[in-house]
Chain A
Amino acid sequence: MCAAMSLHVMLAEDDPDIRLVSRLALKRAGYRVTATANGRELLEKVTQDRPDVILLDYMMPELDGAETCAQLKADPATKDIPVVFLTAKSQGFQLEHGSRLGAVGYITKPYDALTLGAQLKEILERQP
């Protein structure tokens, strides 16, 4: 929990309970967190307060994770922000699938709330 790093993570998660837990878990891990309820809301906020990393729920109404990611990657202003997916294992999510969409990694649900921040950091540190 190094306050000095204080990475800004922007989260899109449609389930309000999981949104709360994720926000608190990441906050406790030292992140600055902006929580949004879906892809559309995230796309609106992402340029106003540019995050260091985006955590996207894969299955969402309105605008799902894959489509949101595609729009982020298509915009020169946001294409360099690393995207990590949050996904339920049953969706048969594969790492290759995520990277085809331009994501740098994925975390499966149910995640470990005590290590969520560490998992995110590990994924970011893996990047060249």
Chain B
Amino acid sequence: MSSSDRPMPRWVVAPLPPDEEQRLAVLRDYEILDTPPEAVFDHLAWLASYICGTPMALVNLVDEHRQWFKARVGFPTAESPRSEAICAYAILNPQQVLEITDTSKDDRFADMPAIAGHPFVRFYAGAPLVSASGHAVGTLCVMDSVPKTLTDDQRQALIILAAQAVSQFELRRRLRDIEDQRAQLISTLNAVPIAIVIRGAPDGRVVVQNEAADRFAGSTNWETIRALRKDGQPLSRTEWPGFRALRGETVRSEELRLTMADGRTVPVYANAAPITDSRGAIVGAVTGFQDITSLAEVARLKDEFVATVSHELRTPLTAIKGSLQLVHSAEGLDAEHKELIGVALGNADRLVRMVNDILDAAKIEAGALKLQRRTLTVAVLAATAFENVRPIAAAAGVRLAIEIESGVRAVHVDVDRMVQALVNLLSNAIKFAPRATTVTLAARRMADGGVSMAIHDDGSGIPPERLHRLFEKFSQLQPGSSNQGKGTGLGLAITKALVEEHGGTIHVSSDPGMGTTFEIRLAGDGTSFAAAAAPLC
């Protein structure tokens, strides 16, 4: 380690600027070092050289240990050590142009290789390249082999050209950020298991489709797919969710079937929404198609499970109920045994009702209830329901009455299902009605042409705090009577669902002490009873 071996530098190496670390970080972030020459920077260097009337000009970036030239005019090398650079001085003061009229007269530079040797730089002027964040990353500099001074205009032009070079760096960085964001968005879109298709306004051509959409379509051409409605009707192009979204509509969870070019059919939920620009104009539409094959499969398995379970329950129940009935009705049974068998029988009956109700509730929830509607008068509907409940009314000592207002329209309903709803309400009313009172079914015409059927009992009424929970599953009122009276807790929930399936509504009003009224309201089907009978007149 002999310091005498190393020749002492015959010039003064520039100190590091106070922001050296941040300055280098900004420079790296520009990602411009060691990139090929580009016309835009060559042009800036040429303009600087021309305007300043110097044979040499550089777009120079000061790296950690070197200066590297993005563009050069009249200068022999592509880079040189930072320790031999005047530009290393120029970046010390980002606010100002460093101008050296005659380098040979300045001890800091006189012996630098490019000054003492080829290309013999005597004049130097460098405008710092200052980033948007205020750090000098290099210079735009001009040089001559003879001493010189710049005019004020030349100096100003050099500053403007330096600013232009920096704005190029900044723009590229912004562009890269945008491209990064785009790449991130695309990889996000591709990570989503939902087929996403973006259409552009106004013609609706596909501008983006993600990988899930490619997999769906079996190709990158989404337009080979055809869409069918749930009922199997094909969708015209303008009816596709994406095209409707282009017209401003938002489509939510619409069930469709997509048919691929290879003939596969996939059930999907389609969602679509318009894409608007910053001024609110619709520039496109995004559509998502979610494969619901597995959901449909789960629903099918659930239905199958419920059907199997209820069948499996029915078989032992048939044996239990039948045996109990035969023993209960046999002669020679003592009173206590007969009563106990009666209890078992009542509970077996209740289990049967529960199995039936659970199956109904499952059907309704699965949307598998198929209404077979026909038009009939309210009088026939009510009479059919009454036939069903006459035995339990007789047993409870309750009278039944029908009141039908004149002008009540016919209804368009699934007779079995509407009778089931009325029977549920009538059985409830009979259960809660005191002995020797009357349960009434009153039908009247509503102002909008619909039909109201109200079932009233003179029971003790329902406390107001219980009213709102009445239609929930397994929300039971205590009838306070025997097992025979106990329900399954599903009756009112099923009744409500049946009425709603018909497009109707159900209401309850009750005052403790004043009895309870359940009212079913059905929309008028447009056919009044009188009109239906008109051909006979």
Chain A residues in the interface with B (C-beta under 8 A): 15, 17-18, 20-22, 24-25, 28, 59, 88-92, 109-114, 116
Contacts and interface: CB of A to CB of B under 8 A. Distances in A.
B326 interface: yes
A110 B321 CA distance: 8
23 contacts: A17-B319, A17-B323, A18-B315, A18-B318, A18-B319, A18-B322, A21-B322, A25-B325, A25-B326, A28-B326, A88-B315, A89-B314, A90-B307, A90-B311, A92-B307, A109-B314, A110-B314, A110-B321, A110-B322, A111-B318, A111-B322, A112-B325, A114-B329
Q: Which one of B323, B352, B356 has the greatest number of beta carbons of chain A within 10 Å?
A: B323
A112 B319 CA distance: 11
B310 to A, nearest CB: 5
B321 A113 contact: yes
Contact of B322 (A25, A88, A89, A91): A25
Q: What secondary structure prevails in chain A residues at the interface with B?
A: helix
Which 7 pairs from chain A and chain B are nearest by CB? A21-B322, A17-B319, A113-B322, A110-B318, A113-B325, A88-B314, A109-B318
Nearest to A24: B326
B491 to A, nearest CB: 17
A34 to B, nearest CB: 18
Given A28-B326, A113-B325, A89 B318 contact: no
Interface residues of B, number: 18
Given A25-B325, A91-B311, 10 more contacts: A15-B319, A17-B316, A17-B319, A17-B323, A20-B319, A21-B318, A21-B323, A88-B310, A88-B314, A111-B318
A1 to B, nearest CB: 12
Contacts of B352: 110
A113 B356 contact: no
Interface in B328-362: 329, 352, 356, 359
Nearest to B325: A113
B318 A114 contact: no
Nearest to B330: A28
Given A89-B356, A90-B359, A113 B326 contact: yes
Contacts of A114: 325-326, 329
A111 B311 CA distance: 13
A22 B316 CA distance: 13
Contacts of A112: 325
Q: Which one of A24, A90, A110, A116 has the greatest number of beta carbons of chain B within 10 Å?
A: A110
A25 B318 CA distance: 12
B368 to A, nearest CB: 10
B523 interface: no
A92 B326 CA distance: 28
Contacts of A24: 326
A15 to B, nearest CB: 6
B311 A88 contact: yes
Interface in B423-466: none
B470 interface: no
A91 B304 CA distance: 10
Contacts of A15: 315, 318-319
A37 B378 CA distance: 47
A17 to B, nearest CB: 4
Contacts of A109: 314-315, 318
B322 A22 contact: yes
A114 B317 CA distance: 15
Contacts of A17: 316, 319, 323
A33 to B, nearest CB: 14
Interface in B282-337: 307, 310-311, 314-319, 321-323, 325-326, 329
Q: Which one of B310, B315, B329, B356 has the greatest number of beta carbons of chain A within 10 Å?
A: B315
Contacts of A28: 326
Contacts of A88: 310-311, 314-315
A21 B314 contact: no
B143 to A, nearest CB: 96
A90 B326 contact: no
B57 to A, nearest CB: 90
Contacts of A92: 307
A112 B359 CA distance: 20
Q: Which one of B314, B318, B329, B352 has the greatest number of beta carbons of chain A within 10 Å?
A: B318
B326 A21 contact: yes
A110 B310 CA distance: 11
B355 to A, nearest CB: 8
Contacts of B310: 88, 90
A110 B317 contact: yes
A54 B326 CA distance: 22
Q: Which one of A18, A22, A116 has the greatest number of beta carbons of chain B within 10 Å?
A: A18
A59 B319 CA distance: 16
A114 B329 CA distance: 8
Contacts of A18: 315, 318-319, 322
Nearest to A91: B311
Contacts of A113: 321-323, 325-326
A18 B314 CA distance: 11
B311 A21 contact: no
A111 B315 CA distance: 10
Contacts of B311: 59, 88, 90-91
A93 to B, nearest CB: 11
A92 B303 CA distance: 12
A22 B314 CA distance: 15
